[in-house]
Structure 1
Amino acid sequence: MVRLVVLFLTAVLLVSVAQTGARTRWAYTTHYDYIDVDQVLKNSRLYTKYFECLMGQGKCTPEAKELRDKLPEALQTNCAMCSERQANESHKVIRFLIQQRPEDFRMLEAKYDPSGLYMKRYEEEIKLNATST
């Protein structure tokens, strides 16, 4: 379950991420940082749309598509190209998934990290996030 949280956290983090042509200190633009992650998590319809896009089961908004496209890279790099706000929001999403949507977390993990390679890297961080709630 902890592994799923890390995966989904990274996914939500990337909801507010899109790559720009001009590189800044990080590789992902802050263009979508205005998205209220709390609102997405609290609104079943919005949450479902993002989740379905990530799972390849539904239509994607531009920001959800960007998230889906960048998620594998963010997992590989431990979100090294994320802004501070994006990293903070991803932690929030991980806690939400662990506590509120564990089945969704398992599905995302199966899709984006079937071998558990990335989750091993994030285990300590996940444990810390799970206990800091």
Structure 2
Amino acid sequence: MARYGAWLGFSVVLLLVAGATRAQEDDGVHYPRSWLNVDIKPIVNNERLFRKYKECLLADKTNGCPRDVVEFKRILPEVLENTCSKCLPEHITKVKEALEYICQKRPADYDEVRNHRDPTGELQAKFAEKYGKINC
């Protein structure tokens, strides 16, 4: 499982960008454009909500997790294995902005999930190579 996990930014950000996530693609090729409409700042700034999302991402079980977290965890292996190949350029921009925001506002949480989900740094390096480094 750790191989598929991502550092906090990638996991949480994709989840937060997804909002009320649906695994189905709008056009059958890309992830839904509706994911672009989510403002992650209120989620990151809400201690209770952010903690719940983070706990669910780190947990092996999904009991008691919000439906969007459960759905996101289901598609996370595909997203990470393919370095977000179904993401639109707008998704990548949104992910990078959100990663930077989370890293700045919650650096300890960012590091905790990153270390848990991507202990070798391999996934982060692949993302940076393909889309550019996250300014953290």
Equivalent residue number for residue 65 of structure 2: 60
Find the aligned partners of 2:94 and 2:119 in 1 and give their Cα distance: 24
Equivalent residue number for residue 29 of structure 1: 32
Q: Does 1:46 align with 2:46?
A: no
Secondary structure in structure 2 of the residue aligned to 1:130: coil
Find the aligned partners of 2:125 and 2:104 in 1 and give their Cα distance: 20
How big is each residue's C-alpha offset from its partner over 1:16-66, in whole Å with a ceiling of 9 and x where there is no partner? 04312775231x334555433121112112111111111117731111112
Tell me, yes or no, if the aligned pair for 2:100 and 2:135 is still in contact at 8 Å: yes
Tell me, yes or no, if the aligned pair for 1:50 and 1:64 is still in contact at 8 Å: yes
Equivalent residue number for residue 14 of structure 2: 13
Aligned partner letter, 2:53? Y
RMSD over aligned Cα atoms: 2.8
How big is each residue's C-alpha offset from its partner over 1:95-125, in whole Å with a ceiling of 9 and x where there is no partner? 1232222221222123221222212223452
Q: Normalization by structure 1: what TM-score?
A: 0.71
Q: Normalization by structure 2: what TM-score?
A: 0.70
Give the counterpart of 2:95 among 90, 115, 121.
90
Tell me, yes or no, if the aligned pair for 1:10 and 1:90 is still in contact at 8 Å: yes
**Any stretches of 5+ residues in structure 1 without a counterpart?**
1-5
Bigger helix share: 1
- Percent sequence identity is 24
Tell me, yes or no, if the aligned pair for 1:10 and 1:71 is still in contact at 8 Å: no
